[in-house]
Amino acid sequence: MRVAMYYNNKDVRIEEMPKPKIGPDELLIKTMACGICGSDVMEWYRIKKAPRVLGHEMSGEIVEIGKNVKDFKVGDRVFVSHHVPCNECRYCLNGHHTICRTLHTTNFDPGGFSEFIRVPKINVELGTFLLPDEMSFEEGTFIEPLGCVIRGRRRADLKKGNTVVVLGSGLSGLLHIQLARVLGAEKIIATDINEYRMKAAKKFGADEVINAKEDVSARVREVNEGRLADRVIVCTGAVSAIEQALKSVDGGGTILFFAPTDSGVEIPLPFNEFWMSQATLTTTYAAAPVDIEEAIEFIQSRKINVKDMITHRLSLEEIGKGFQLVAEANESIKVIVEPHR
């Protein structure tokens, strides 16, 4: 079968690998669509494990089924979560599923940027979900990123009536904007330095859009009746955005750091100011099954508009172009690879 083998952001090669053979508790999936995630182009992180087949925002069709698998059948349309928790460790039992050591070691074989994937037993049992009939394979590629956003919302404790600032209007930022709108945020303010993405933020529900080159905290006060934000969601690893977040949160508010920085970056914290403000700083990582289930419901009900976020549909042979589009973060939002296109 054909796979896209990642060496670095500018070197993704189409290579041949044997089609995976499944065991009695496993599934073989024909990959129909797989999104290129922003984390796929975090070269400092990915290159350490290269060469490898990436791709985790996938949907497909079951073509082979192990003899012990009872809950699925050949022909089922599915989304498969690459990381799944054990549901038994102290982290899972306390609601911190995405800290679970099992979650950090599970994956499907070899990756979504391939014609077929093998789904191990634990992923079959805890990470395989049927796609609703009204959901396309393309829309299914949004399940994982929206699940991550939903988990972030839980961490930030976003509430109806909040003023929300979203720093960075790429794919995750736009999903946060839409989710905040669905959940009843009173005012949503978005930022970016890219005109294309600033327009997208407005299109997908932001009340106000600020150029991130401006004094963001001052502009937040200006458009929010003199007040800073109840919730600040940082969807970029840029140090300047993190510094803006620290200045943009109101007393008693929460900053959610949704995206990581480059490796080794340290951020100074004006500790006494935060001690006095009683603001909360929190982080989020990945999605748990409960988040995945909620993401499917939001997409199925069309409460979150994902279809209009798709800007590029590419064949496996065009994946190098796709990696460049996502890495450049210019005039693209959602780039989808269709291995059988």
DSSP state of 237: -
Cα 103 to the chain's mean position, in Å? 16
Provide the pLDDT for residue 246: 97
Provide the pLDDT for residue 130: 98
Provide the pLDDT for residue 155: 97
What is the arithmetic mean of pLDDT over 282-297?
98
Q: What is the pLDDT of residues 6-34, one digit of tens each?
A: 999 999 999 999 999 999 999 999 999 99
Strand, coil or helix: 107: coil
Q: Tokens for 180?
A: 């905040």
Confidence of residue 108 (pLDDT cuts 50, 70, 90): very high
What is the arithmetic mean of pLDDT over 89-107?
97
Confidence of residue 184 (pLDDT cuts 50, 70, 90): very high
Spatial CB neighbours of 1, under 8 Å, sequence gap ≥ 6: 16, 17, 18, 19, 114, 115, 116
DSSP state of 4: E
Confidence of residue 117 (pLDDT cuts 50, 70, 90): very high
Confidence of residue 54 (pLDDT cuts 50, 70, 90): very high
2-142+306-338: what CATH class?
Answer: alpha beta
For the domain made up of 149-283, give the CATH fold: Rossmann fold (3.40.50)
Give bridge partners of residue 48 from the DSSP assignment. none
Give the percent of the chain with pLDDT over 90.
100
Confidence of residue 245 (pLDDT cuts 50, 70, 90): very high
Provide the pLDDT for residue 204: 98
What is the arithmetic mean of pLDDT over 115-141?
98
CA distance 273 to 234: 19
User: So where are the chain's domains?
Assistant: 2-142+306-338, 149-283
Confidence of residue 111 (pLDDT cuts 50, 70, 90): very high
Average pLDDT, the chain: 97
